[in-house]
Amino acid sequence: MHTFEFIRPTDSAAAIAAAAQSKTAQQGADVRFMGGGTTLIDLMKLNVETPARVLDINRLPLDKIELMPDGGLKIGA
Amino acid sequence: MEDDKIGSPQPSRRRFLLTTGTTLAASVLAAHTPAQVLAHETETASSGDASAVEGAIAITLRINGKDHQLRIDPRTTLLDCIRESVALTGTKKGCDHGQCGACTVHVNGKRVLSCLNLALMNDGNKITTIEGLGTPEAMHPMQAAFVACDGYQCGYCTSGQIMSAVALLKEPCGPDDAAVKELMSGNICRCGAYANIVAAIQQVRKRA
């Protein structure tokens, strides 16, 4: 696995701002969000994904499922 | 189950392997030049105890009720950290790619695959491993049921199976065997002890 900088943003805005500086996925993104990590960590072990920075968003308050007034569902992250 | 202590006077499989491994390594190293020996030692330090690693990060893991303050390489998985840094070897490395379930532990009460978790993502989290469930003298009911029902052959997947089974007790699960099999589908047993594993889990659920 390549080395990377591990960052835990304090809110969604900080996470978005940090990721906005990154190249797109097609250009070989160098910033990746860490959610469950089940795919990302696996691919990092195989050096398929080699992000320079990993943003851990697990502790942001996004794990909600809300019923919307129009009958839809809003799923957190 | 309690892990064998390295310093214990009783002979054990693990102690034997550690001792012979060290002797073998020493005899191999003796044949190398000092420069090669130094390189080997540096390599060993980076894969095991990360105290000397550049960029190591300090974290605290609460494992089985005890706080462990560690300095780890950011790339260390929770599995490697538990096994190599904390030396709790009850948690097993099977595929190391999240497909077999042998490395299952509980993080804040929920089951997770420790091979697909970075240790530093778990800074401050409460972790329970097989060593934290029970002891040979006072087994967790699930451990006792696995023994009673013969829920294993070689035993390599067993700690992961038991950690999953204990977590399953608190999850929404239908009463029949098919529901248990579905919720245990992330834990592979190459010996094929599935029927007895399901029987052990059902025994615990019926007695609860």
Residue A59's closest chain B neighbor by CA? B121
The pLDDT of residue B130:
97
Contacts of B117 in chain A (CB under 8 A): 37, 41
- Between chains, do B118 and A6 touch, taking CB under 8 Å as contact? yes
Q: Which one-letter amino acid corresponds to residue A58?
A: N
Domain closes at, from B132, B157, B190: B132
- Between chains, do B75 and A1 touch, taking CB under 8 Å as contact? yes
The pLDDT of residue B22:
61
Within-domain flag for B23: no
pLDDT digits (tens, 9 = 90+) for A6-59: 999 999 999 999 888 887 777 777 999 998 888 999 999 999 999 999 999 999
A34 touches chain B (CB under 8 A): yes
pLDDT digits (tens, 9 = 90+) for B77-130: 999 999 999 999 999 999 999 999 999 999 999 999 999 999 999 999 999 999
Q: Which one-letter amino acid corresponds to residue A8?
A: R
For residues B181 and B197, give the distance between their C-alpha atoms in angstroms, rounded to a whole number. Answer: 9
- Between chains, do B118 and A41 touch, taking CB under 8 Å as contact? yes
- Between chains, do B74 and A4 touch, taking CB under 8 Å as contact? yes
Domain match, B145 and B108 both: no
Contacts of A6 in chain B (CB under 8 A): 57, 74, 118, 120
Residue A46's closest chain B neighbor by CA? B97
pLDDT digits (tens, 9 = 90+) for B164-173: 999 999 999 9
Domain match, B63 and B126 both: yes
pLDDT digits (tens, 9 = 90+) for B12-69: 766 666 666 666 555 554 444 444 433 333 333 344 444 466 789 999 999 999 999 9
Domain of B121, CATH number, reads 3.10.20.30
What secondary structure does DSSP assign to chain B, as a single string? -PPPPTT-SS--HHHHHHHHHHHHHHHHHHTS-HHHHHHHHHHHHHHS-GGG-TT-EEEEEEETTEEEEEEE-TT-BHHHIIIIIS--TTS--SSSSSSS-TTEEEETTEEEEGGGSBGGGGTT-EEE-GGGT--SSS--HHHHHHHHHT--SS-TTHHHHHHHHHHHTTS---SSHHHHHHHTTT---TT--HHHHHHHHHHHHHH-
Domain of B190, CATH number, reads 1.10.150.120
Domain that holds residue A22: 5-75
Domain match, B75 and B116 both: yes
A6 touches chain B (CB under 8 A): yes
Domain count, chain B: 2
- Mean pLDDT, residues B142-147 taken together: 98
The pLDDT of residue B66:
96
For residues B141 and B180, give the distance between their C-alpha atoms in angstroms, rounded to a whole number. Answer: 17
Within-domain flag for B34: no
Domain that holds residue B156: 141-207
Domain closes at, from B112, B132, B152: B132
Residue A53's closest chain B neighbor by CA? B74
Domain closes at, from B132, B163, B196: B132
Domain match, B151 and B128 both: no
The pLDDT of residue B36:
40
Within-domain flag for B194: yes
**Which of A73-77, B59-63, B179-183 shows the lowest mean pLDDT across its residues?**
A73-77
Which of B121, B122, B123, B125 to mutate: most A Cβ within 10 Å? B121
- Does residue B187 carry a pLDDT above 70? yes
The pLDDT of residue A20:
87
A12 touches chain B (CB under 8 A): no
Residue B47's closest chain A neighbor by CA? A1
Domain count, chain A: 1
Domain of A70, CATH number, reads 3.30.43.10
| Distances from the Cα of A29 to the Cα of A11, A58, B197, angstroms | 21, 20, 43
Domain match, B150 and B195 both: yes
